[in-house]
Structure 1
Amino acid sequence: MQTEARVGVVVEGSQRALSSSHGAVSVDGAARKLAQQHRSQVGTISQLLAGGVAGALAKTCTAPLARLTILFQVQGMHSEVATLRKISIWQEASRIVSEEGFRAFWKGNLVTIAHRLPCSSVNFYAYERYKKLLRKVPGLENHGDNMSADACIHFFGGGLAGITAATATYPLDLVRTRLAAQTNVMYYKGIWHALRTISKEEGIFGLYKGLGATLLGVGPNIAISFSVYETLRSFCQSNWPSDSNVLVNLACGSLSGIASSTATFPLDLVRRRKQLEGAGGRARVYTTGLFGMFRHIVRTERLRGLYRGILPEYYKVVPSVGICFMTYEKLKELLADISTSA
């Protein structure tokens, strides 16, 4: 993503250059437009830092809802369908507090941060790099004057970035899921214990269980998220240029999260269940491949089973993605200002 740089020299210089041939009103409008079009350029380390902090902060703020989502997603693996219908978000949250304590809402959050820092860093950084590469593709060079080409760049850039980040940090994502899915029996005692136990009991490839479903889901998810965010943000800045960038980024990020989660939630559910296959020494539930898992879930839990946990996911994704985009954009602005003044 790209952020407007808050560099006063650029605005003032544009005003002086335009004032000799235009009135004060047109000068202000042109200067404001130029300032909005000017993008901040920060170094690689600063960009990675902004992306990592943004992702970690967003995940920490919404960790309780993230854990509820995971618990609902995996209930169908070892529970009767009749029992599942009676469980509400409030009942599950009350059970966690009474049986595990309030801090249990953040169970697995340390590994979430350990996963999210590099994952989000690589995600945002790779997105910027892929955008530059895609803009060199024949037919996409004049992206600024072609909305469809611009949307194509955002979509495929986001998808490739998501796949790159997910592949690079997948074992931590799997460990995070298993730690968050634990209730009363603590089979895994921490990040390193989980990594060693999984490698010993399930082999090194056990750390990559569900990677196929993850890549199928994360590519479209991030692609939709980035493209919807960029499109909405450009629309808002064109129509309401005086509005707060913080609020615009927060609102556009939240809407992009809803769109991407709705489109890819079934794949995310299958990914979570695949990650938990064989966890804690339990027998395998699904003996078929990815599409066989879809058929099994639809047959045993009906179509609604593919969207089990979508409600807490919505509650989570609205603030989470909004905070992530908003924090990333703000940190990029701050780091750009620091590097400029240094």
Structure 2
Amino acid sequence: MQTEARVGAVMDGRGSAAGGAVVVDGGPSRKLITQHRHQSQIGTVPQLLAGGVAGAISKTCTAPLARLTILFQLQGMHANAASLKKASIWQEASRIVHEEGFRAFWKGNLVTIAHRLPYSSISFYAFERYKNVLQLILGVESQGENITADLCIRLVGGGLAGITAASVTYPLDLVRTRLAAQTNVIYYRGIWHALQTISREEGIAGLYKGMGATLLGVGPNLAISFSVYDTVRSYWQSHRPDDSTVLVSLACGSLSGVASSTVTFPLDLVRRRIQLEGAGGRAHVYKTGLFGTFSHIIRTEGLRGLYRGILPEYYKVVPSIGIVFMTYEKMKQLLSDID
């Protein structure tokens, strides 16, 4: 869920990936710095648009794996965990094709795009604002003066930006989960029907089910991503300084995605299940809040129950971040030329 925010924050904070060049001391450095500052001043709107488009394209390309992840996460919610078969990605994918058709892999993708565009835009914008405020508070005039302060600014700023974006766009995320979780029985006919039905049957508060788990997972997700990305990237560049910046960013970004997903996946699973509480008039399963839901899953399904669907999640993370990086770079290049 936080990939695009993470990508935009890292690339903007590091400078090298966004600017396409590494500034070194010497005569040409002033020219490159001037160009980078000029791009930052005129590129705010194109950057937001590029991030939103990159997120939408990435989500569309990895939608089949995203839906498989959701379906696996929900296994055991309305069934006896002991009777569940061992999760098989290919069996579930075959079932979707035979019972629902190939297009069902993209079920709920329209609301995903509707959610991702504003989510990415708010993330980028909020990160810039939070970063400026934190720089003033810590007395950091420019990036690179203090590595510890820079890392702290990126971690806190990225976490606050993710929380802000998630809070504003959360109802769309909940609707996306419910649409993707539908199999043969169609209860919600679309975005607006789902929003209206949930509001009518569960109240306005129903649109924010699972928000606590979401906000709780946003901070650690971005913190781990930034830490892993910066550490591995610095180590890589110190040992292989001539490697392609794009290649290094893709590899380190993918690794950071896998690391953050591994740690925060249980929170994501709990969030999905709480979002499905009461969907389609079904009985409530978890009635004791966030921590009670954790306890219920561990008691009935074991610790492995918290990681149902982690395999398709891994398969999704690497291409998703790769597509985001490539699309983001290309969109920025095209929009800069137009500008």
**Counterpart amino acid of 1:131?**
K
2:51 is matched with 51
Aligned equivalents of 1:264, 1:37: Cα separation in 2: 38
Equivalent residue runs for 1:1-342 within 5 Å: 1-2=11-12, 3-4=15-16, 18=27, 38=36, 40-41=39-40, 42-138=42-138, 140-141=140-141, 143-233=143-233, 236=236, 240-339=240-339
Please tell me whether the aligned partners of residues 82 and 301 of structure 2 are also in contact (alpha carbons under 8 angstroms): no
Greater displacement, 255-264 / 77-86: 77-86
Seen in structure 2, the aligned counterparts of structure 1 residues 223 and 54 have a Cα distance that, compared at 3 Å, is farther
Seen in structure 2, the aligned counterparts of structure 1 residues 49 and 142 have a Cα distance that, compared at 3 Å, is closer
**Counterpart amino acid of 1:52?**
G
Please tell me whether the aligned partners of residues 155 and 226 of structure 1 are also in contact (alpha carbons under 8 angstroms): yes
Aligned equivalents of 1:333, 1:84: Cα separation in 2: 49
Aligned equivalents of 1:260, 1:67: Cα separation in 2: 19
TM-superposed CA distance for 1:86, in Å, is 2.7
Greater displacement, 258-267 / 325-334: 325-334
5+ residue gaps, structure 1 = 19-29
Aligned equivalents of 2:202, 2:287: Cα separation in 1: 15
Seen in structure 2, the aligned counterparts of structure 1 residues 6 and 318 have a Cα distance that, compared at 3 Å, is closer
TM-superposed CA distance for 1:322, in Å, is 2.7
Seen in structure 2, the aligned counterparts of structure 1 residues 179 and 241 have a Cα distance that, compared at 3 Å, is same
Instruction: State the number of aligned residues.
Output: 324
Seen in structure 2, the aligned counterparts of structure 1 residues 267 and 33 have a Cα distance that, compared at 3 Å, is farther
Please tell me whether the aligned partners of residues 51 and 123 of structure 1 are also in contact (alpha carbons under 8 angstroms): no
TM-superposed CA distance for 1:123, in Å, is 1.4
Aligned equivalents of 2:19, 2:317: Cα separation in 1: 29
Please tell me whether the aligned partners of residues 111 and 176 of structure 2 are also in contact (alpha carbons under 8 angstroms): yes
1:268-305 CA-partner distances (Å, limit 9, x unpaired): 00100010000000010011011111111100001111
1:22 is matched with none
Taking structure 2 as the reference length, what is the TM-score of the superposition? 0.86
Aligned equivalents of 1:146, 1:6: Cα separation in 2: 21
5+ residue gaps, structure 2 = 1-10
Seen in structure 2, the aligned counterparts of structure 1 residues 265 and 67 have a Cα distance that, compared at 3 Å, is same
**Counterpart amino acid of 1:137?**
I
**Counterpart amino acid of 2:105?**
F
**Counterpart amino acid of 2:90?**
W
Taking structure 1 as the reference length, what is the TM-score of the superposition? 0.86
TM-superposed CA distance for 1:82, in Å, is 2.5
Aligned equivalents of 2:188, 2:156: Cα separation in 1: 37
TM-superposed CA distance for 1:7, in Å, is 8.7
Greater displacement, 39-48 / 72-81: 39-48
**Counterpart amino acid of 1:196?**
Q
1:152-190 CA-partner distances (Å, limit 9, x unpaired): 111111111110110110010000000000000000011
1:23 is matched with none
Seen in structure 2, the aligned counterparts of structure 1 residues 336 and 234 have a Cα distance that, compared at 3 Å, is farther
Greater displacement, 305-314 / 244-253: 244-253
Aligned equivalents of 1:224, 1:127: Cα separation in 2: 17
Please tell me whether the aligned partners of residues 96 and 104 of structure 1 are also in contact (alpha carbons under 8 angstroms): yes
Task: State the Cα RMSD in Å.
Answer: 2.8
Aligned equivalents of 1:306, 1:324: Cα separation in 2: 27
Aligned equivalents of 1:204, 1:255: Cα separation in 2: 38
TM-superposed CA distance for 1:136, in Å, is 1.6
Bigger radius of gyration among the two:
1
Greater displacement, 60-69 / 325-334: 325-334
Aligned equivalents of 1:252, 1:37: Cα separation in 2: 26
TM-superposed CA distance for 1:32, in Å, is 11
